């Protein structure tokens, strides 16, 4: 991470009504601080006219020191997957509904960003997964996931059957609607609704959570982050592999899915005093009396 920051990327959830005013307000604030501002091209196309530089998202990796994302967790997922390989730190301003990853509110956006520019922030490293598909020994698909890599049947498919190996050791043959390999970040997403545990994002591990398994003894399992999963498709049909619901690939019988930790972590910056447990209380309504 390069600090102090000199060039800042602004990326917005461009379909959100009212994105123009807060994004351009933030751009003006950064300019007054003497920083160079680069606006994501797709975001810029949905803004009013402005005089800031533009760049495609996949061009920003080596060109910016910090990326500020205005949107929800879904927006942040895509940005993280693109910029994490370039070690660009990210800050999230929440314009969505949940806000596990985008923890700065619009109301205190400017003073909080001002503090971060002065070095008053908490740095958090979070792991990603990489999922790939081998067909007849040839890699035909590869993508990153910040939340989870999911093997799941489609709308027209019956229960699927697959074999799970961990570090070249056979674990089990399963029949289920699917299987979720989640990062600690992803344990509060799809894996949680499937009965998986909540894991603190500072931990290095992978949770493996079955989706509607045929055998009730088939339960979630926690693996070391260095583990490599291999899932062999014994029976397929309308079966898909999803990486954060952003990248998808249809599987065939005898395909092999390989899932492992990606080498570069994502770097998130939070305001001083940030608490994961406070986030859980607020977002999961644990602070409400039963």
Active site residues: 73
The confidence band for 134, taking pLDDT boundaries of 50, 70 and 90, is very high
Q: Render pLDDT for 64-111 as a digit per residue (tens, 0 to 9).
A: 999 999 988 888 998 999 999 999 999 999 886 667 888 899 999 999
Q: At residue 121, does pLDDT exceed 80?
A: yes
pLDDT of residue 100: 84
CB-based burial, 168-200: b 16+ in 10 Å, e otherwise: eeebeebbbbbbbbbbbbbbbbbbbebebeebe
* pLDDT at residue 96, rounded to an integer: 67
Q: Write the CA distances from 41 to 4, 37, 57, 134, 238, integer angstroms.
A: 25, 12, 7, 34, 35
Q: What is the pLDDT of residues 150-185, one digit of tens each?
A: 999 988 768 899 999 999 999 999 999 999 999 999
Q: Between 272 and 50, where is the model more confident? A: 272
> Which phi and psi angles does 217 have, rounded to 5°?
-80, -5
Tokens for 60, please give them: 């920003």
Write down all domains in the chain, each with its CATH number in brackets. 7-127+265-283 (3.40.50.10330), 129-261 (2.60.200.30)
228: left (phi over 0), alpha (psi -120 to 50) or beta: beta
Give per-residue burial for 217-227: e unless 16+ CB within 10 Å, then b.
ebebeebeeeb
Contact 138, 121 (CB under 8 A): no
Q: How many CB atoms lie within 10 A of CB 289?
A: 3
């Amino acid at each position: 991470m390069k600090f102090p920051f000199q060039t800042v990327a602004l990326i917005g959830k461009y379909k959100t009504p009212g994105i123009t005013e807060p994004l351009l307000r933030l751009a003006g604030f950064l300019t007054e601080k003497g920083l160079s501002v680069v606006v994501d091209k797709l975001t810029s196309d949905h803004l009013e006219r402005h005089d800031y530089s533009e760049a495609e998202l996949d061009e920003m990796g080596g060109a910016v020191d910090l990326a500020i994302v205005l949107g929800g967790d879904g927006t942040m997922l895509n940005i993280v997957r693109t910029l994490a390989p370039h070690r660009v730190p990210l800050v999230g301003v929440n314009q969505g509904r949940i806000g596990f990853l985008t923890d700065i509110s619009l109301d205190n956006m400017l003073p909080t960003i001002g503090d971060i520019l002065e070095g008053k922030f908490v740095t958090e490293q979070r792991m990603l997964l990489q999922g790939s598909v081998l067909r007849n020994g040839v890699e035909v698909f590869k993508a990153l996931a910040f939340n989870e890599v999911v093997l799941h049947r489609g709308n027209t498919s019956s229960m699927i059957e697959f074999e799970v190996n961990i570090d070249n050791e056979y674990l089990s043959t399963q029949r289920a609607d699917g299987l979720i390999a989640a990062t600690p970040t992803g344990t509060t997403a799809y894996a949680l609704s499937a009965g998986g545990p909540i894991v603190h994002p500072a931990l290095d591990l992978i949770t493996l959570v079955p989706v509607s398994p045929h055998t009730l003894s088939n339960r979630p399992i926690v693996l070391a982050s260095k583990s490599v999963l291999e899932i062999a498709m014994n029976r397929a049909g309308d079966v898909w592999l999803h990486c954060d619901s952003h990248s998808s690939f249809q599987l065939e019988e005898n395909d092999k899915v390989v899932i492992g930790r990606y080498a570069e972590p994502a770097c998130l910056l939070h305001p001083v005093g940030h608490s994961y447990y406070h986030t859980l209380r607020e977002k999961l309504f644990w602070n409400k009396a039963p």
